[in-house]
Structure 1
Amino acid sequence: MRTLRRYLFLQIAAASGLVLLVFLGLLFILDAINELSNSNASATSFAHTLLLVSLQMPSRAYLILPIAALTGTVYVLASLAASSEFTVMRMSGLSPLRALQQLLGMGLLFSVLIFSLGEFAVPLAERASATLQAKSEGGQFGGTSLSSGLWLRNRQSGQDDQMINIRSVSASGELHDVHIYVLDGATQLVQTIDAASAVYQNSGTWLLRQVTSIRLPGQAGQTIQIKQLADLPWQTSVSPSVLNVLLLSPDHMSVVDLWRYVNHLRANGQAVQRDEIALWRKLLYPFSAVVMMLLALPFAYLHARSGQISWKVFGGIMLGISFILMNTLTSRLGLLASWPTWLAAALPYMLYGSAALGYFLWRVQYR
């Protein structure tokens, strides 16, 4: 049985790896063409574009690996069934239960690989990509894809509420073009603080430079107070580590960073349902490989000739894509219908996993 397990593992790993390389190669070419069409046609920009596209490949592999595992497994099992090798394996003692155990074990190995990509490789590659883009754009990170910059909320006990807008962050962590809007308990604007830059000191203190402070009158008869300051200490809960998290989209954060981000939003009284769903999706996504193995296993018990292998592989690809689409759909529906966050993230896994397992048991028992 150990020899059989090794044989199945090598066959599935080789086929899945080949499918993954093909998908990544196609995406690399498409991304490179798209990036080159938006950049200058110089030798420097060409090399720069290829490096940027290469740094996107870990996130691509993270998303594609479950589908590649499903496609490779379906191909291997369908080929074994078409050549009667799987029949020989069954006669040699490979019961349906053992086959299920073997594939679930392989699915867990794929899950470890997916988790490692999402937790380590993807955040590092995205930060490296952001740094590379910052250097090419004069050393400035765009805090977000929106032209309005990065918006934050800072709420501390005993102090007024603050809405913060940061237009850009340098590669060294220095903030540029900072705007702070101070609100009182009645959510009325009482003060605006504009700074050309800000540097982190320690213990939650930033040093604002070239500051313009405008305090609005709170009562009739008071005048607007305008101050020009060379620098001004600014106490806030927004630390460089929080900014590092916010510069990445939730899909590219690690589980720890996303958990920190959710806690930051909750501490400032902001809506967290969307990001909690993203956190649950991040936690559950590695187990999509196990679901893919459950979907692939019935293909070994569909007796067909070798000419129908391509249709089985196509069906496996469609199943994988439908699972990804369902995963996105239930997240959106859960956000709209205010479902429990864990349910919105776990529903596709429960539906596809139970359906695949039920069909497999029915196929083995009655067919």
Structure 2
Amino acid sequence: MKTVRRLLYRQILSSVLFVTLAFLALFFFIDLVDELQDIGRNGYTLTDALWTCILALPGHVYDVFPITLLIGTIMALSQLAQSSEYTILRTSGLGPARALTLLAALGVGSAVMLFAIGDFVAPWTQQMTSLNSSDFRKGQALNLGKGGAWLRESAGPDTPEGHQLTVNVGSATGESHFKNVRIFEFDGQGRMVRRITAQDADISHAMQGSGGASLWALRGVTDTRWASAAKVTPEQETTGQSLVTEQRLDKLDWVSQMTPQVVAASVLPIDTMSTSALWRYTHHLARNAQAAQKYELQFWKKAFSPLTCLVMVALALPFAYLQSRSGGMNLKVFGGVMLGISFVLVNHITSHLGLLHQWQPWLAASAPSIAYLLLSLSAFVWLVRNR
């Protein structure tokens, strides 16, 4: 059995590695051509462009590995079937259940690797690409558009009970360093009572004994306060004086329940977030009565993404039971590519339909994988019984 396992795994892994490298070479070339147009602008060099393309490779591996796993497995099994080696293995005792178990073990190992890349390697490299692009461009910050990123907090540790806080971040230059920060405080009737604007903000991690609160070190601060209606005297209301006070400060420490990870999640692209970061940010949005379905769907897609490896090897196994007269290896590989493309299309369509029709995020994320897994197992059972 060890010999059979070694033969199958060597054939499959070598084919998967070859296909993955081919795809990565193609993506690297496309990314490099796209980056070449920025060379010479703001000190952006060819070395910076190459480094950016290299940092993008783990993200490409995470995106294409299920497809390359399918294509590589189909190529390996088709070659074994075409040379009658798989037939010899079957007559030597490799039954359908044992073959399925062997490929399932390979799929589990691939799922673990994909999870590690998607949760640790790819988010880190993609965040470096997004945030360190400012270093490549001589200090330009990561632009978040005209409106910036908006966050809401029910109440901070230093905020009166019943007040609401809204935070706007204009741009990011690091995982915990942000520019053009505005903090709006509203009372229980929805009236703005305070506005803090800061040129820069450094967010430290949770402080001990503060219930998980983080310290925001604001610089270049303008603190504007509006007097509440209960504190306005008739004379002030008549003359319009002293209703607004403005104070300019070099530094101001502001305590908030929003951690650097939550703020970074709101300013970075959603595909740079790990499963744990998506979980934290989804709970933050739900706790502050904000729409979280988009991030919930992305969380469940991340959580179910390792399942796609099992789906891919299950889709490839029936090709080992197709004889050469049923079609050459090229036709089988083409069929595998079409299967992979159809899975990706169905996955994207289901995600968009889930957002449009307010489906349960876990159902919208898992339905394509479950459907294709059942389809592959049905085809496998039919081929075993009839071939």
TM-score normalised by L of structure 2 = 0.88
- Of stretches 211-220 and 169-178 in structure 1, the one that deviates more from structure 2 is 211-220
Partner of residue 208 from structure 1, selected from 213, 218, 235: 218
Q: Which amino acid aligns with 1:126?
A: Q
Percent of residue pairs bearing the same amino acid type: 37
- Of stretches 147-156 and 101-110 in structure 1, the one that deviates more from structure 2 is 147-156
Gaps of 5+ in 1: none
User: Is this contact kept in 2: 1:83–1:306, CA < 8 A?
Assistant: no
Q: Give 1:235 deviation, angstroms.
A: 2.6
Gaps of 5+ in 2: 208-212
Whole-angstrom CA distance in 2 between matches of 1:111 and 1:248:
26
SS at match of 2:305: helix
Q: Which amino acid aligns with 1:23?
A: F
User: Is this contact kept in 2: 1:143–1:247, CA < 8 A?
Assistant: no
The 1:187/1:44 distance shift into structure 2, 3 A limit, reads: closer
Does residue 155 of structure 1 match 2:154?
Answer: yes
> Hey, what does 2:40 align to over in structure 1?
40
- Alpha-carbon RMSD: 2.3
Q: Give 1:44 deviation, angstroms.
A: 5.5
Q: Give 1:21 deviation, angstroms.
A: 0.1
SS at match of 1:195: strand
Q: Residue by residue, what CA displacement relative to the aligned partner does 1:268-299 show, whole Å, maximum 9, x if unpaired?
A: 22111111111111011011010001110111
Whole-angstrom CA distance in 2 between matches of 1:172 and 1:332:
29
- Of stretches 249-258 and 169-178 in structure 1, the one that deviates more from structure 2 is 169-178
- Of stretches 245-254 and 100-109 in structure 1, the one that deviates more from structure 2 is 245-254
Q: Give 1:43 deviation, angstroms.
A: 9.3
Whole-angstrom CA distance in 2 between matches of 1:263 and 1:81:
50
Whole-angstrom CA distance in 2 between matches of 1:164 and 1:137:
27
Partner of residue 236 from structure 1, selected from 230, 245, 256: 256
Partner of residue 191 from structure 1, selected from 194, 197, 209: 194
> Hey, what does 2:246 align to over in structure 1?
227
User: Is this contact kept in 2: 1:291–1:352, CA < 8 A?
Assistant: yes
Whole-angstrom CA distance in 2 between matches of 1:332 and 1:44:
37
> Hey, what does 1:167 align to over in structure 2?
170
Partner of residue 319 from structure 2, selected from 281, 296, 299: 299
Whole-angstrom CA distance in 2 between matches of 1:327 and 1:186:
44
Whole-angstrom CA distance in 2 between matches of 1:305 and 1:47:
51
Q: How many aligned positions are there?
A: 366
- Of stretches 263-272 and 302-311 in structure 1, the one that deviates more from structure 2 is 302-311
The 1:207/1:47 distance shift into structure 2, 3 A limit, reads: closer
Whole-angstrom CA distance in 2 between matches of 1:208 and 1:251:
29
Q: Give 1:363 deviation, angstroms.
A: 1.6
Whole-angstrom CA distance in 2 between matches of 1:318 and 1:352:
13
> Hey, what does 2:386 align to over in structure 1?
366
Alignment of 1:62-101 (within 5 A): 62-101=62-101
SS at match of 2:324: coil
Whole-angstrom CA distance in 2 between matches of 1:118 and 1:351:
23
SS at match of 2:57: helix
Q: Which amino acid aligns with 1:226?
A: T
Whole-angstrom CA distance in 1 between matches of 2:326 and 2:196:
71
Q: Give 1:112 deviation, angstroms.
A: 1.1
Q: Which amino acid aligns with 1:163?
A: T
The 1:58/1:48 distance shift into structure 2, 3 A limit, reads: same
SS at match of 2:172: strand
Does residue 111 of structure 1 match 2:111?
Answer: yes
Q: Could you list the runs of 4 or more consecutive aligned residues of structure 1 that deviate by over 6 angstroms after TM superposition?
A: none
Q: Give 1:218 deviation, angstroms.
A: 5.3
Does residue 343 of structure 1 match 2:353?
Answer: no
Whole-angstrom CA distance in 2 between matches of 1:267 and 1:335:
20
